[in-house]
Amino acid sequence: MDVIDIITAKRDGAELTPEQIDWLIARYAEGPAGGIADEQMAALCMAVVWRGMTRAEVARWTGAMLRSGDRLDLAGLDRPTTDKHSTGGVGDKTTLPLTPAVVACGAAVPQLSGRGLGHTGGTLDKLEAIPGWRAELTPGELLRQLREVGGAVCAAGPGLAPADRRLYALRDVTGTVESVPLIAASIMSKKLAEGTGALVLDVKAGSGAFMKDTASARRLARTMVGIGADHGVRTRALITGMDVPLGRAVGNALEVAEALEVLAGGGPDDLVRLVVELGREMLAAAGMPGAKDPADALRDGTAMDAWRAMVAAQGGDPDAPLPRAAERREVPAPATGVLTRLDAYAVGVAARRLGAGRVRKEDPVSAGAGIVLHAKPGDRVRAGRPLLTLHTDDPDRFEPAAEALADAVRVSPEDAPPAPDSEPLPLIIERIT
């Protein structure tokens, strides 16, 4: 094998052979000892950005990254296993109430999650707002918690798909992140390494999502569902709207508090609906059509019981007060009328500037920072009344956050005809199996 031959083949639009892909990923995973330089892999990734990959190539690429590390063995569990992955959004805290709700319905959920970067929040950052909670579990600890509690949300260990970790860091600095085959293979190699029997994907579309339009989200969803099928994992996807923040809280402890409202039988309608729909898909994918409904688990308190057990099992105190930011500032509605625009991307950037997110992986985050929304598109608002409340520990962060929000809001007169771009995307756009 010769890496230059592989680069030029893909540059010229050829389909890489299974042997070429296996050799390439195995050698690159070895680091410098493997003999493939970062600049060579960067060149190949750019060729993939331009030329794409066939379904067979993507499946093989994913499998090669999967084989570069460990794979959890969940065969000994006495429950069907199922998991969910979201491509990320603003205010997306669905994992927090969803995982215990599905556990309460009889499934085991090994939810390996990540941290936030850029304008989107990370599940682990949110959960670390709970005093004492720890994200790191060994494979043995994870299996024990799945047996005893039924679910866990934790960080992926370094032994799962290490080739992807190295490749993702390279793509991040070489302008090759935006490739559906590479995105799909990156996500699915880690998810398949969990060893779960079923997987539901929440692929988001809109300004606050990585995929800005429905067509791109559909391509990504179909590619990932195909990868799952090719690797024997029952996989389905929902394409969901993310041009408006999900729920009414954006920020780590603020989102935990909102998740607790859902677990207590309340919470914002959009968040509750998405949790229930994703939960039903997870149970169906796991082959549990007669299982308890997730909506019932939220109403009767069994989801809350599962949440408390999960938090305590990872060292957290489910009764401890959540952190609160030291400073708050209200953003008033600019006019009286109907709120017709609340841009998710701008809200996510503002929350990051308040301290809720990070630009670099090593940046710290503030547990209490974030934004609370007092209205969503379609609601009537009054000039001067609070529209948003900004939370931060550093008052110097208020002005940069306000700058991010400068064009995020539109209020229209109640009798005005709708603007062409005023209709938000549906919460659930499409289902793909």
Per residue in 296-353, pLDDT (tens digit) is: 999 999 999 999 999 999 999 999 999 999 999 999 999 999 999 999 999 999 999 9
| 231 is annotated as an active-site residue | no
pLDDT band at 178 (very low <50, low <70, confident <90, very high): confident
Per residue in 11-44, pLDDT (tens digit) is: 999 999 999 999 999 999 999 999 999 999 999 9
Q: What is the CATH number of the domain that holds 127?
A: 3.40.1030.10
In-domain check, residue 78: no
Higher pLDDT, 160 or 293: 293
| 376 is annotated as an active-site residue | no
Residue 301 shares a structural domain with residue 360: no
Residue 182 shares a structural domain with residue 236: yes
Q: What pLDDT is attached to residue 173? A: 83
Q: What pLDDT is attached to residue 140? A: 93
What value does the mean pLDDT take over residues 270-278? 98
Weakest-pLDDT range from 45-49, 262-266, 355-359, 361-365: 361-365
Q: What pLDDT is attached to residue 358? A: 86
Residue 16 shares a structural domain with residue 113: no
Q: Does residue 161 register a pLDDT over 80?
A: yes
Q: Does residue 424 register a pLDDT over 70?
A: yes
Residue 345 shares a structural domain with residue 308: no
The average confidence (pLDDT) of the chain is 94
Q: What is the CATH number of the domain that holds 354?
A: 3.90.1170.30
What value does the mean pLDDT take over residues 164-173? 87
Residue 308 shares a structural domain with residue 334: no
Q: Does residue 362 register a pLDDT over 90?
A: no
**Cα separations in angstroms, 31 against 19, 115, 165, 166:** 19, 24, 12, 8
Two structure tokens written together for 169: 């860091």
In-domain check, residue 59: no
Q: Does residue 45 register a pLDDT over 90?
A: yes
Q: What pLDDT is attached to residue 398? A: 98
Weakest-pLDDT range from 114-128, 220-234, 261-275: 114-128
**Which of the residues 115, 119, 165, 171 is marked catalytic?**
171
Q: Does residue 360 register a pLDDT over 80?
A: no
Q: What pLDDT is attached to residue 397? A: 97
In sequence order, what DSSP letters do the residues of 103-148 get, joined into one string? HHTT-BEEEEE---BTTB--HHHHHTTSTT------HHHHHHHHHH
Which of 320, 344, 360 terminates a domain? The answer is 320
Residue 36 shares a structural domain with residue 163: no
386-392 sheet: strands from edge to edge: 249-250, 370-373, 386-392, 327-332
Residue 284 shares a structural domain with residue 350: no
How many domains does the structure of the chain reveal? 3
Could you tell me the residue range of the domain that residue 375 belongs to?
A: 327-412
Q: What pLDDT is attached to residue 422? A: 67
Share of the chain above pLDDT 70, in %: 99
Q: What pLDDT is attached to residue 75? A: 86
| 164 is annotated as an active-site residue | yes
Per residue in 205-244, pLDDT (tens digit) is: 999 998 999 999 999 999 999 999 999 999 999 999 999 9
**Which of the residues 93, 165, 190, 204 is marked catalytic?**
190
In-domain check, residue 165: yes
**Which of the residues 10, 60, 84, 85 is marked catalytic?**
85
Q: What pLDDT is attached to residue 156? A: 86
Q: How far is CA 50 from the centre of its chain?
A: 26
In-domain check, residue 62: no
Residue 132 shares a structural domain with residue 188: yes
Per residue in 53-79, pLDDT (tens digit) is: 999 999 999 999 999 999 899 988 999
Share of the chain above pLDDT 90, in %: 86
Residue carrying structure tokens 């949440």? 307
Higher pLDDT, 344 or 360: 344
| 85 is annotated as an active-site residue | yes
322, HSE (Cβ side, Cα atoms, 13 Å) = 21
Q: Does residue 256 register a pLDDT over 70?
A: yes
Nearest to 227 by CA among 178, 190, 177, 274: 190
Residue 349 shares a structural domain with residue 275: no
pLDDT band at 421 (very low <50, low <70, confident <90, very high): low
Q: What pLDDT is attached to residue 172? A: 79
In-domain check, residue 227: yes
Which of 260, 293, 320 terminates a domain? The answer is 320
Residue 278 shares a structural domain with residue 337: no
In-domain check, residue 429: no
Q: What pLDDT is attached to residue 165? A: 86
**Which of the residues 83, 92, 125, 164 is marked catalytic?**
164
Q: Using DSSP, state whether 227 is helix, strand or coil.
A: helix
**Which of the residues 186, 189, 207, 366 is marked catalytic?**
186
Q: Does residue 416 register a pLDDT over 90?
A: no
In sequence order, what DSSP letters do the residues of 26-72 get, joined into one string? HHHHTGGGGT--HHHHHHHHHHHHHH---HHHHHHHHHHHHHTSB--
In-domain check, residue 61: no
In-domain check, residue 289: yes
Q: What pLDDT is attached to residue 121? A: 84
Residues ≥6 apart with Cβ < 8 Å to 113: 95, 122, 123, 124, 153, 154, 155, 156
Q: Using DSSP, state whether 409 is helix, strand or coil.
A: strand
